[in-house]
Amino acid sequence: MAASVDNRQFRNLNGVVHTFNPSNNFIHDLKPGFPVNKDLFSSDDEEENDDASNLQELIRKTNAEVEPSILDPRDEGTLDNWVTRNATMVRLTGKHPFNSEPPLPRLMHHGFITPVPIHYVRNHGAVPKARWEDWTVEVSGLVKNPTRFTMDRLVREFPSRELPVTLVCAGNRRKEQNMVKQSVGFNWGAAAVSNSVWRGVSLRHVLKRCGILTRSKGAVHVCFYGAEDLPGGGGSKYGTSIRREIAMDPSRDVILAYMQNGEALAPDHGFPVRVIIPGFIGGRMVKWLKRIVVTTDECDGHYHYKDNRVLPSHVDAEQANDEGKFILF
């Protein structure tokens, strides 16, 4: 396999093709707190290199304006007492779990790139303690070759994609919505939206490697499941799904991301790997990804089927629960 990745190529934010050099200590640079090894990236196009350098400078500048994250006293006595966080984040659900957004003026100040420490966070439970070295992502269901990938394999055996993606919680500005008509959920302000540069491997490439079956053979939905045990649905994993045609559409740029703004994912943002689906609500972008299952039916998990939904104006939450009348995101 080593010979086959020597000339592995991937595209950066601007679409320029770069060569992946496996001789660099890539895994070392992916550990939390370590910057990207710049020697991994090379291009013969001077203009494209200038664009990439400008983006890197923008990320460096915006990161330099954010104070270091700390072990916040508010996390003492919780399962998240090991996670460092920015002390200015506005906590919306009390002490635990951690659901927060930055003060709106701070978000606006940084413009196009949101620094990771003030990127909004939506957690349903405790942050899983993960190690890069022993984390795996299993692909199963309606595929010819079910496979369990280590993080090392994902990075080294597939070309990378890097692109800016805006994440927004479906509850963004719910506080204002509740002033008009009471809804279900806590009061997000207007800052549950953030933009980062994400790097990862194409979901499409991973599914093709595993031999995803055709739609006519029942492969209609691609389900994602995280690692955490959650209270909803009697202790279920967080799970959701998208349609096969979205997962396999190269123009959709669905990736399994392991880097955000040039560094390994932070624990609150899914370290070591999460799903990024441009154009979808944040609730579809499963963090701490452990399983991908190709199925005939969409995910029937609690958080997909009962939690993330939009109701018609003539149906309230109680009626939807009683009669099953709801529209999924």
Burial 133-172 (b: 16+ CB within 10 A, else e): eebebebbbbbeeebebebebbbbbbebbbbebebbbbbb
The residue annotated as part of the active site, out of 12, 75, 86, 169, is 169
Q: What is the pLDDT of residue 180?
A: 80
DSSP per-residue string spanning 234-290: HHPEEEEEEEHHHHT-GGG--EEEEEETTEEPPGGGTTT-EEE-TTS-GGGS-SSEE
Q: What is the pLDDT of residue 56?
A: 84
DSSP per-residue string spanning 132-196: GGG-EEEEEESBSS-EEEEHHHHHHHS-EEEEEEEEE-TTTTHHHHHHHS--SS----S--EEEE
- CATH value at residue 42: 3.90.420.10
The residue annotated as part of the active site, out of 152, 300, 307, 316, is 307
Q: What is the pLDDT of residue 323?
A: 55
Helix or strand or coil: residue 18? strand
List of the chain residues with pLDDT < 70? 1-51, 232-235, 302-313, 315-329
Q: What is the pLDDT of residue 176?
A: 79
The residue to which tokens 């992916």 are assigned: 30
Q: What is the pLDDT of residue 23?
A: 30
Q: Give the structural domain span for 187.
A: 2-328
What's the rounded Cα separation, in Å, for the pair 125 and 129? 12
Q: Which helix (H) or strand (E) holds 221?
A: strand 221-229
Q: What is the pLDDT of residue 24?
A: 33
The residue annotated as part of the active site, out of 21, 24, 308, 316, is 308
User: How many domains does the chain contain in total?
Assistant: 1
Q: What is the pLDDT of residue 309?
A: 58
**Is 169 known to be catalytic?**
yes
pLDDT in tens, 213-256: 999 999 999 999 999 877 766 667 889 999 999 999 999 999 99
